[in-house]
Chain A
Amino acid sequence: MAKPKIGFYWCASCGGCEEAVVDLAEDILAVTAAVDIVFWPVAMDYKKADVTSLPDQALTATFINGAIRTSEQEEMARLLRAKSRYLIAFGACAQLGGIPALANEFSREAILSWVYQDAPTVVNPERVRPAVRTDDDGRTLTLPEFRNVVRTLNQVVEVDYYLPGCPPTPKLIKAAVGALLEGKLPPRGTVLAPDVALCEECPRKKTKPQDLHFTAFKRPHLVPLDPELCLLAQGLVCMGPATRGGCGALCPGANMPCTGCFGPTSRVRDQGAKMLSSLTSAMEAKEVPEVEKVLAGIPDPVGTFYRYGLAGSLLRVNTTAAAAASKEAL
């Protein structure tokens, strides 16, 4: 019997998710023994034609990492959706937007003018910007279109499963590939990780107080950290209570607070709102000026609470930026 075919692809991502596949180390041999990898541009020489020439649903599963920002990424996501029986959003960016989705705090125009004109290190007197089509001396060059907003994979195509994390851990990848090969798949739409908060598996859990009393929020680079005490009890913003477990509490184990890359559990729609709620309600302050003083300890609330989840959040995008985009569309 022919081996199942699988594919890997990357969109708006850093490459860390691809590295996570390589981090399977010698276990990757077991994977390649069981399946044929027929598309993996980052690791081997494949072309788009290798996919377009396949019949629909020829691939058993495709793992796509990265958010969707450009027209090319959208096109590849649609192509791979058509060719795959299971499409798996691999990693925080594909699942929730990830770090690239923080760009949704700003309009497309603000981003382009900063990157190509206003940033202090840019020298661009002719104000050249990337164009979808450029005619030069009889030749035509094309580039993908830079879209208005960053999207999660499931805002562009239907997604069957989600592997969370920045990046997903080898243990979860192995479990997912195993479940796929054995046909032991959970209901469609499931996030392939435990459905409990990170605190459940944190080695510091026993030191987490019943009630927290924040009098200030501290930032990890400014205070010495106790390696054993619950980080929330030390006054740090640790996203553990609002974040799905499954990583084995890697960051708290390395004396750093959780930043939330596994996204919310299934009971939560908006991870940032939930963390904001949990954290601020445990403050001591009772008067507005006092409250404001403590809140100033979190100078970038969107970047803190929505570090990996802005595109998948309830608001998705800066409203003013969305309005600018809709005017352009008219």
Chain B
Amino acid sequence: MPENNWQPRIVAFFCSWCTYTAADLAGVSRLKYAPNIRIIRLMCSGRVDPQFVLEALARGADGVLIGGCHPGDCHYAEGNFKTLRRYQMLRRVLGAMGISEERIRLEWISASEGERVRMVINDLVERIRILGPLDLPGRLAACDAELGASAQALRLPQYRQPAADLREVIHG
């Protein structure tokens, strides 16, 4: 994508009970915020598997936003604490892999904080605009230009699910 046409693409994982409801409130209240966010609704921020964040980045997102209930308010008691711990460690991993820690963000936004949804999204979009495109698929493709064409066709991660439990095959 040419640099001048680039717009940040951000994947947001919002918990159904707090942040998603707040995003709904922002909509009902006709608050305007940057259109760079793709919201995915989950039952709890604790459902955000770190694989989701990495996969979003690996498939071309420039940033990831996770929204959950304030500490102590989790509908499932502890889900948001689990997310906090995973998030702190994931930031360390991303840093070691050359990805700015500012590209991922965890925010506690309660159901009544529609205005905060607007503020957080606008702020994140501006920060990522300053960082520029991450473009992991493009960077990896450029890296793989050194391979022959047939190998490049294999470049995408292979999802291979065996049909059944293999213990019979292997041990029987």
Contacts and interface: CB of A to CB of B under 8 A. Distances in A.
Contacts of A151: 147
A195 B166 contact: yes
A295 B90 contact: no
Contacts of B143: 148-149, 317, 322, 325-326, 329
Nearest to B136: A319
Contacts of B125: none
Interface stretch (A18-26, A254-262, A285-293): A285-293
B51 A316 contact: no
Contacts of A274: 49-51
A175 B171 contact: yes
A155 interface: yes
Contact of B154 (A156, A185, A298, A330): A156
* Best-surrounded residue of A190, A274, A322 (most CB of chain B within 10 A): A322
B3 interface: no
Interface residues of A, number: 67
Which bucket holds chain B's interface residue count? 35 or more
A184 B169 contact: yes
B18 interface: no
Contacts of B49: 273-274, 277
A286 B81 contact: yes
Given A157-B151, A246-B170, A186 B162 contact: yes
A321 B55 CA distance: 19
A187 interface: yes
B50 A187 contact: no
Contacts of A280: 82, 85-86, 88-89
Contacts of B98: 318-323
Q: Main SS of the interface on chain B?
A: helix
A285 B85 contact: yes
A314 B55 contact: yes
Contact of B93 (A157, A196, A276): A276
Contacts of B93: 272, 276, 301-302, 305
Nearest to A318: B98
Contacts of A329: 142-143, 145-146
A325 B142 contact: yes
B71 interface: yes
Interface of A: 74, 78, 105, 145, 147-149, 151, 154-158, 172, 175-176, 179, 184-187, 189-196, 246, 266, 268-270, 272-274, 276-277, 280-281, 283, 285-286, 288, 291-292, 295, 298, 301-302, 305, 313-323, 325-326, 329-330
